[in-house]
Chain A
Amino acid sequence: MPTVVYVNDDGSQMTVDMPVATSLMRAALGNQVPGIVGECGGSATCGTCHVYLDHTTEKLDPPSGDEDDMLEWTASPRTENSRLSCQLVPTQESAYLVVRVPAKQV
C-alpha cells in the first residue's frame, strides 16, 4: 500500500496507508486529514485540495495544463512543488510520499 505523510501547517503529521489508484485528496478525506477540502470531489475544478509535494518515491506525471492553470490561483501561495492532491494518484504498492498541507484552501 502506498504510504502518504501529510504535514500540517502547524507541523503536526498524519501518516496514511492508502489503496493504489486512489488520489491523495480522497485518501485525506477518508482519513480525516485536516486542511484538505476537495469541494469539487476531484475534478481539478475548485482548487481546494492544494498540497506541496515535498517527496515522492514514485515518479508522478507533472501537472496537466489545466491543473497548472488552476494552481496559479490557489488560496495559499503556489511554489514549484505545488499540486492539486486530487490529481496525485500513486500506482506503486511501495510508493512513499510526503506532502505539506497549506494553511488556507478557501
Chain B
Amino acid sequence: MRGVVVIGAGHAGIEAAASLRTGGYAGPVTVVDAEGHLPYQRPPLSKEMLDDQADPTGISLRPKAFFDDQRISLCPGPAVEIDRTRQQVRVESGHWVGYDHLVLATGATPRQFSLPGLGLRGVTELRTFDDALSLRASLAGAKHVVVLGGGFIGMEVASAARKRGIDVTVLELADRVLGRVVSQPVSAAVAAHHRADGVRLCLEERAVEVVGHAGHVTGVRTGSGQLLPADLLVIGVGATADDSLAGRAGLETDNGVVVDRCLTTSDPRIFAVGDCAAVRDRVTGQLRRLESIQNATDQGRYAAARILGWKRSYRAVPWFWSNQGTLRLQLVDLGGGYDRLVVRGNETRFSVFRLCDGLLTAVESVNDPGTHMAARRLLDRGTPTEAELILDDFDVRVLARRVLSAETAASA
C-alpha cells in the first residue's frame, strides 16, 4: 500500500489528512507542505494577526503532536511533478513519494498584474503567514497606507490599519466595495462602516503608477491624476487557483483543477479540494471555484470519505464570513444570479435575501448571526420559496424553527 499523498497543508489539505485518520484509514498519509511552518489557519492573517498583541504561534491548525500521534507525515515541498503513470509525486528536494490516491489542495495565489513601480519596497500582498508577519511589522511604522482592491482582504486590512490610527485609502476599480460577493445594500453598509471609521474610499478609481524614492514606495498615482501619499501599499486584487502542477501533469484545468461532483479530476485516483478546485456543474457544465474555509474543510473531509469508500456526490451549502473591525459579515450563497432582493432589519443589523425565479439563493447578513445561521440550516434542507418566506415576512428564524421542529417530531 502506497497510501495517500496530499499536496498543500492549508485548511483543505489538513482536513483531508485528519479525516482519513478519523475515518480509520490505516495506510501512510503524507502532506506535502511548501511553506515550512506548522500548518496554520488563514483567516486570522488579515484580522487578529495584524495586531501586535496577537500570538503568532496561536493560529496553528493542529499541534505538532497531532501529526506525530496520527502518523501524518509532513513532507517539505513544494511538489514539482506528478507522474500519473507511476503514481508518484516528486518534491523539490528530488525524492519521489508514491500514492494510491492523490489529493490536490494547492490553494490559490495572489493575482498577478503589472503596474509601474510594483517592485518597490513597501509594496506587499497578503496570502501567507510570512506575508502577515511582514505586513504587521510594516504597519508598525506606517503613516499612510494605500490598499489596492476593495475585497475581503483589502477591507480587513483597512480595518487593521485604522485600528492603529494609520491614514488609509482604498482604491477600488468597481463602483462599490465587495462587489464580487455581495449585493448593493451590503456594499453600501460596508462602505459606510469604513467611512465612519475614517477610511478614505476611492471607488471607480485605478492605480496607474507606484511612485517611490530611494527604492521605497512614497505614493500611488491614480487614474484620475491624484497622487496619494503612501509608505505602504497593500495589494488585494483577488487570487487565481494554483493549478499549474495539475496542468503540467495533463489534468484538465480552467482557472482551477477541474473536478466532477465527486471532486475527482480527469484522473480517477486524483482529487482536488479547496481554493484550487473548480467544480463542474452536472447540468449547466459551468465551473464554480470557491475561496472559503467552509469550502476547504468540507471538500477536504469529503475527499477523505470518498477514499474510504463513500459513494454519494459532494454537497454542501457554501458560506463565508468577514470581520472588519466591529462589522460582522456572514454570507450563505448557493451561487447563480438573482432577480430580486429583499432587505429586512435596520441600518446596523440587517440581512439581504437574494431570490432567483422565486427561490432563495443567498442571504447576506450584516451583524445578524441568528438570521445567517437559520438560513444555513434551512438551505441545508432545501431551497425555500419566496411564497414560504413571505408567510413570516422573511424572518427565516421562524421558518427554520418550524422546519426543524417538524423534523424532530418526525424522527421521534
A residues sitting closer than 8 Å to B (CB atoms) are 26, 29-32, 39-41, 43-47, 66, 69-70, 72-73
Contacts and interface: CB of A to CB of B under 8 A. Distances in A.
Contact of A70 (B47, B58, B373): B373
12 contacts: A39-B294, A43-B43, A43-B47, A45-B323, A45-B369, A66-B367, A70-B369, A70-B373, A72-B374, A73-B373, A73-B374, A73-B376
B330 A45 contact: yes
A40 B43 contact: yes
Given A45-B369, A73-B376, A66 B62 contact: no
B373 A41 contact: no
A41 B44 contact: yes
Contact of B370 (A26, A30, A46, A69): A69
B314 interface: no
Interface string B228-266: 000000000000000000000000000000000000000
Contacts of B29: none
Contacts, number: 54
A32 B293 contact: no
A50 to B, nearest CB: 12
B297 A70 contact: no
Interface bracket on B: 20 to 34
B376 to A, nearest CB: 7
A69 B375 CA distance: 13
A70 B293 CA distance: 18
Interface string B28-49: 0000000000000101100100
Which applies to chain B's interface (DSSP): helix, strand, loop or mixed?
helix
A70 B294 CA distance: 16
B321 interface: yes
A41 B328 contact: no
Contacts of B293: 39-41
A46 B376 CA distance: 10
A32 B66 contact: yes
A40 B328 CA distance: 13
B323 to A, nearest CB: 6
B69 interface: yes
B69 A44 contact: no
Contact of A43 (B58, B66, B323, B400): B323
Contacts of B367: 66
Given A26-B58, A39-B297, A70 B370 contact: yes
